[in-house]
């Protein structure tokens, strides 16, 4: 019964969302606010993050805060966490979501391009998780983290060639499991979501013929909407998932099962 009252509620929780200025992060932030959470957006697009935080705050009458940081810079991340804590009074949960994609054949990829994708998608996820884990552990606080991986951590996409992205996301899945075990005795749960093709700013610039093929290859015959990931993130962050850690929830319209 106690569980039922708390089912999918984030009432009173302060949730940090990286990459929350737009796309999946923004849609999930809005849904988190709808189920009672207060929101901190960390994004390198500061103005857009501020607009999003303001918009969500107004709509749901919640306290929100935006702070600029590049997730590849551990000092900026630590400072952003510090500022957010000062502003909000506490931090409870993390949706670690900022990421980029690069579609380019391996033979044409230069070292900077490879490094950039790994830096944002894997190192960035690590630096934010590390800073947030330190924050919780120093305060002896329980908490939960959801990292955004991708189905590309499990399968190889087609026809686009994006080895750096795929490798970075496979890294996020395994990092999630490693953190889950390392922090299990600290009361910190760490899980990941692996979306399939979702229509956001990230995928909106992709060639039309590729997008048509993606839909064809997905049993649901369509791309997902960012808000279709919100329930999964809220579940994994909430007390409803109190026995779930190290899991990767694939949400892909059936793409990876055929
Ligand atoms: N859209 C999809 O089809 C899809 C599928 C699977 C996984 N994902 C993953 O979901 C996450 C969100 O993707 P999206 O589609 O919403 O993309 P998006 O481009 O719409 O949003 C990404 C956000 O991350 C921010 N960001 C990028 N690099 C950053 C950095 N170095 N520091 C701070 N912020 C940074 C951007 O400013 C942006 O607001 C990414 O990790 C992406 O890999 C997306």
* Phi/psi at 26 (5° precision): -65, -45
In a domain, 257, yes or no: no
* CB of 256 shorter than 6 A to ligand 1: no
CB distance 148 to ligand 1 below 6 Å: yes
| Neighbour-count burial of 58, counting CB atoms closer than 10 A to its CB (0-12 exposed, 13-18 middle, 19+ buried) | exposed
Is ligand 1 within 6 A of the CB of residue 224?
A: no
CA–centroid distance, residue 207 to ligand 1 (Å):
18
Tens digit of pLDDT for each residue in 43-91?
Answer: 999 999 999 999 999 999 999 999 999 999 999 999 999 999 999 999 9
In a domain, residue 202? The reply is yes
- Quickly list DSSP for the chain: -HHHHHTT--TT-EEEEETTTSHHHHHHHHHHHHTT-EEEEEES-HHHHHHHHHHHHHHHT--EEEEE--TT-HHHHHHHHHHHHHHHS---EEEE---------GGG--HHHHHHHHIIIIIIHHHHHHHHHHHHHHTT--EEEEEE--GGGTS--SSS--HHHHHHHHHHHHHHHHHHHHTGGGTEEEEEEEE-SB-SHHHHTS-HHHHHHHHHHSTTSSPBPGGGGHHHHHHHHSGGGTT--S-EEEESTTGGG-
Q: What is the mean pLDDT of the chain?
A: 97
Task: Please tell me if the CB atom of residue 198 comes closer than 6 angstroms to any atom of ligand 1.
Answer: yes
Q: Give the pLDDT score at 4.
A: 77
Mutational test site, ligand 1, from 23, 204, 226, max ligand atoms within 8 Å of CB: 23
Our mutation pick for probing the ligand 1 site, out of 98, 123, 210, counting the most ligand atoms within 8 A of Cβ, is 98
Domain-embedded: residue 70: yes
User: Is 126 inside any structural domain?
Assistant: yes
pLDDT in tens, 144-201: 999 999 999 999 999 999 999 999 999 999 999 999 999 999 999 999 999 999 999 8
201 lines ligand 1 (CB under 6 A): yes
How many structural domains comprise the chain? 1
The answer to whether position 99 is within a domain reads: yes
Whether residue 71 has its Cβ less than 6 Å from ligand 1: yes
Proportion of the chain above pLDDT 70, given as a percent:
100
Which has the closest alpha carbon to 147: 185, 116, 188?
188
Task: Select which of 13, 60, 150, 164 is catalytic.
Answer: 150
pTM, entire model: 0.98
Q: Is the CB of 203 under 6 A from ligand 1?
A: yes
Q: What is the pLDDT of residue 2?
A: 74
Is the pLDDT at 205 greater than 90? The verdict is no
What percent of the chain is predicted at pLDDT more than 90?
A: 95
Q: State yes or no: pLDDT of 23 exceeds 70.
A: yes
Known active-site residue 165: yes
Q: Is 194 a catalytic residue?
A: no
**Containing domain of residue 26, as a range?**
2-251
CATH assignment at residue 57:
3.40.50.720
Q: How confident is the model at residue 1 (pLDDT cuts 50, 70, 90)?
A: low
From 165, 168, 192, 238, active-site residue: 165
25 backbone dihedrals φ, ψ, rounded to 5°: -60, -40
Report yes or no on 165 lying in a domain.
Answer: yes
Q: Is residue 190 part of a domain?
A: yes
Query: Ligand 1 atom 7: the closest Cα is on which residue?
Result: 150
Residue 258 falls within a domain, yes or no? no
Q: How far is the centre of ligand 1, averaged over its atoms, from the C-alpha of 36 (Å)?
A: 24
Q: Is 169 a catalytic residue?
A: yes
| Closest by CA position to 74, among listed 118, 132, 22 | 132
């Amino acid at each position: 019964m106690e569980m039922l009252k708390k089912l999918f509620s984030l009432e009173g929780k302060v949730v940090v969302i990286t990459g929350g200025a737009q796309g999946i992060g923004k849609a999930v932030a809005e849904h988190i606010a709808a189920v009672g959470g207060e929101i901190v957006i960390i994004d390198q697009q500061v103005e857009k993050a501020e607009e999003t935080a303001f918009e969500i705050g107004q709509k749901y009458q919640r306290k929100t805060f935006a702070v600029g940081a590049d997730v590849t810079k551990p000092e900026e991340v630590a400072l952003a966490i510090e500022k957010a804590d000062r502003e909000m009074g506490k931090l409870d949960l993390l949706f670690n979501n900022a990421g980029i994609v690069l579609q380019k054949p391996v033979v044409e990829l230069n070292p900077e391009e490879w490094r950039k994708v790994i830096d944002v998608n894997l190192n960035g996820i690590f630096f934010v998780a590390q800073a947030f884990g330190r924050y919780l552990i120093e305060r002896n606080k329980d908490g939960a983290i959801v990292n955004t991986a991708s189905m590309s951590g499990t399968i190889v996409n087609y026809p686009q060639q994006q080895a750096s992205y795929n490798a970075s996301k496979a890294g996020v899945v395994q990092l999630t499991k490693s953190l889950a075990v390392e922090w299990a005795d600290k009361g910190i749960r760490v899980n990941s979501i692996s979306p399939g093709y979702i229509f956001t700013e990230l995928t909106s610039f992709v060639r039309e013929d590729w997008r048509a093929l993606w839909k064809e290859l997905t049993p649901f015959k369509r791309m997902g909407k960012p808000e279709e990931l919100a329930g999964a993130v809220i579940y994994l962050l909430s007390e409803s998932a109190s026995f779930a850690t190290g899991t990767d929830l694939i949400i892909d319209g059936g793409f990876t099962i055929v």
